[in-house]
Amino acid sequence: MGRITFRRLEDLEVAGKTVLVRADLNVPMQGGRVTDSTRILRLLPTLQYLVKKKARIVLLSHFDRPGGIFVPSLSLSPLVDAISEALGGRPVQFGVDCVGPAAREAVARLKPGEVLLLENLRFHPEEEKGDVQFARDLASLGDVFVNDAFSCSHRRHASITGIASVLPSAVGRLMEEELHMLQRIFSKTARPVAAIVGGSKISSKLALLENLTSVVDVLVIGGAMANTFLYAEGYDVGKSLVEKSLKNTAKNILARAGKKGCRIVLPVDVVVARSLESQRGNKVVGVDHIPAWGIAADIGPATVKLFCEAVIPCKTAVWNGPMGAFETAPFDSGTIMLARYIALLTGKKQLRSIGGGGDTVAALARAGLEDGFSYLSAAGGAFLEWLEGKELPGVAVLERASRKARSRA
Ligand code: ADP
Ligand code: MG
C-alpha cells in the first residue's frame, strides 16, 4: 500500500460554512439507549475542530439496516443526547429527515458553531443504491464535505462517494488517524499473521474470507460466522444463526485455503442456549452434539484454548467480530477470554494486535481491554477489505479530489 495524501480539515474553508460530516453513528443500542459511545467519542476531534472554527455542522449517518423505509425503532434521534453529552453539554439539533424541506429548514436554522444531526440516511433506498440525484440533494445542504466514516468507506453509497464527487471534500480526524495507523502497521507486517473473524454479518463478510485466506497465515473463525462453516462441514447447528444458502461458498473457502498456505481453525465446542437472552439451561457441547433446540451462543472452553494456541506462533493478529452473543453474559466469555490472551501477548511485545468493528470494540471495552490492543479501528467490514488490499471507493474518491486540488494549486 503506497502512502496516500489527503486533504485534511485544515485544507478546507470551514469558518461560517455549512459542513456536512459523514459519520458512522451506528452505535450499539439496547432499548433505545446508547450502550457504548466509543464511536461518538472518536468523532470528537473533528467536531471540536469544526465548533472552534464556527462552522455550521451537519452530521449524516446511517443506522442499522432499515432497508430503505422509515423504521421508527431505527431512528437516530436517541443519539442527540449522547452526542450532546460527549460535546460537554452543547445542544444538538435534530432533523427528522436527511433530505427535503425538513432537512433544509433544520439546516437554515443552524448558527455558526452549532451541531445538527439528520435522520438515518438508510430510510431512503437511494442511499444504498448510490443514487446520484440523492447525493446531489444531500450535497445541496452544505458547502463542503468531510468524510469521517472510514468504517463505511468500502460502500459506494450516496453519502460516501456521491457527496464527495460534488462538494470540496476532506478526510476527518478519525478517518485520517485510521488510515495513518493502518498504513503504518501494515507497511511491514510481521508474519505469521492471524485473522480472527466472528460476529453475525455473515452474508456481507463471508465472501471476504475467501480473499483473506490469500493474505493471512491463520484464519480463526468463531461467533455466528462459524455456524455456516460448521454447517458446511456437515454438522447439525440446531437453531443457531446460520446462512444455509452460503454453504457452498463456505465449502470452497475451506477446500482452497490449504492450497494458499492458510490454516483455518473452527470451533470444536460451543455454548448452546435455548434463547440468546436466557441465562438458564445453557451447556457446553461438542460441535457434533448441538441439540436440535440449541442456539450456539458462544465458543466453548476447548475452542478458546484452541484459538489462543493458534495465535501463539503469530506476530500479528487482526480481529473483527465477537466470538459470541456478547451483549448477554455469560455469552461474552469466549470473546473476553480470547481478548485477554491477545492483550497478554501484546503486552509481552510478542504480538501486534489490531481489533476492528463497532461491536468488536464495544465487546473489548466491556472487558476493559481497550488499551490491551496495539490499535483499535472503528471499522469492521471496511477494515477487512482494506486488509485484502482492495481499493475502498470512499477513500479513492477523496484521493482523486486531493490530487485534483493539488494539480490546480
Ligand atoms: P462488528 O460490529 O464488530 O463488525 P458484527 O456486527 O459482524 O461485528 O457482529 C456483532 C454481533 O454478532 C453481535 O451483536 C453479537 O451478538 C453477534 N454474535 C456473535 N456471535 C453470535 C452467535 N453465535 N449467535 C448470534 N449472534 C452472535
Ligand atoms: Mg456490528
Can you give the residue range of the structural domain that contains 59? Answer: 9-174+391-408
Examine the pLDDT at 318 and tell me if it is beyond 80: yes
Ligand 1: which residue has its CA nearest to atom 9?
199
pLDDT tens track for 192-210: 999 999 999 888 888 889 8
The helices-and-strands tally (H runs, E runs) of the chain is: 16, 17
pLDDT at residue 4 is higher than 90? no
Predicted confidence (pLDDT) at residue 3 exceeds the cutoff of 70? no
Residue 184 CA, ligand 2 centroid: distance in Å: 25
Distance 376 CA to ligand 2 centre (A): 14
- Tell me which residue has cell 456481507: 204
Q: Quote the CA–CA distance of 168 and 154 in Å, as a whole number.
A: 20
Same domain, 147 and 74: yes
| pLDDT tens digits, one per residue of 206-243 | 888 988 999 999 999 999 999 999 999 999 999 999 99
383 located within any domain: no
Confidence label for 187 from pLDDT (cuts 50, 70 and 90): confident
Q: How far is the CA of 356 from the centre of ligand 2 (A)?
A: 10
Domains: count for the chain? 2
Q: Is 223 in the pocket of ligand 1 (CB under 6 A)?
A: yes
Q: What local confidence, expressed as pLDDT, does residue 279 receive? A: 76
| Active site (catalytic) residues | 39, 201, 358, 381
Inside any domain, residue 386: no
pLDDT higher than threshold 50 for residue 88: yes
Same domain, 245 and 154: no
Q: Are residues 323 and 354 in the same domain?
A: yes
Query: What's the whole-model pTM score?
Result: 0.89
- For residue 345, the CA-to-ligand 1 centroid distance in Å is 24
pLDDT at 328: 93
- Between the CA of 363 and the centroid of ligand 2 the distance, in Å, is 11
For the chain, give percent helix, strand, coil, nearest 5.
Answer: 45, 15, 40
Amino acid at 214: S
- For residue 223, the ligand closest to its alpha carbon is 1
Are 135 and 281 in the same domain? Answer: no
pLDDT tens digits along 116-160: 999 999 999 999 999 999 999 999 999 999 999 999 999 999 999
Same domain, 43 and 147: yes
Ligand 1 atom 26: the closest Cα is on which residue? 325
In angstroms, what is the span from residue 8 Cα to ligand 1's centroid?
33
In short, whether 321's Cβ falls inside 6 Å of ligand 1 is yes
pLDDT digits 0-9 by tens, 255-273: 999 899 999 999 999 999 9
Ligand 1 atom at shortest distance from the alpha carbon of 356 = 3
Q: Whose CA is nearest to atom 14 of ligand 1?
A: 325
Residues 107 and 199 in one domain: no
Q: Give the pLDDT score at 182.
A: 85
Query: Rounded mean pLDDT of the chain?
Result: 94
Residue 3 falls inside a structural domain? no
CA 143, CA 169: separation in Å to the nearest integer? 10
Does 343 fall in a domain?
A: yes
CATH number of the domain that residue 92 is part of: 3.40.50.1260
Q: Nearest ligand to the C-alpha of residue 325?
A: 1
Please say whether the beta carbons of 96 and 119 come within 8 A.
Answer: yes
CA 380 to ligand 1: nearest atom:
4
Residues, beta carbon < 5 Å, ion ligand 2: 358-359
Its sign, for the CA torsion 8, 12, 14, 15, is positive
Do 224 and 108 fall within a single domain?
A: no
Domain co-membership, 282 together with 166: no
Q: Which of 160, 220, 185 is nearest to 377 (CA)?
A: 185
The pLDDT assigned to 203 comes to: 87
- The whole-number pLDDT of residue 2 equals 46
Mean pLDDT of 376-391: 88
300 Cβ below 6 A of ligand 1: no
Q: Ligand 1: which of 155, 359, 366, 377 to mutate, most ligand atoms within 8 Å of CB?
A: 359
Beta carbon of 356 within 6 Å of any ligand 1 atom: no
Task: Confirm whether 256 is domain-assigned.
Answer: yes
Given a cut of 90, whether residue 51 has pLDDT beyond it is yes
- Label residue 277 by pLDDT band (50, 70, 90): confident
Query: Is residue 366 domain-resident?
Result: yes
Beta-carbon contacts of 304 under 8 Å, excluding residues fewer than 6 positions away, are: 333, 334, 337, 338
> Does residue 97's CB lie within 6 angstroms of at least one atom of ligand 1?
no
Question: Amino acid identity of 202?
Answer: I
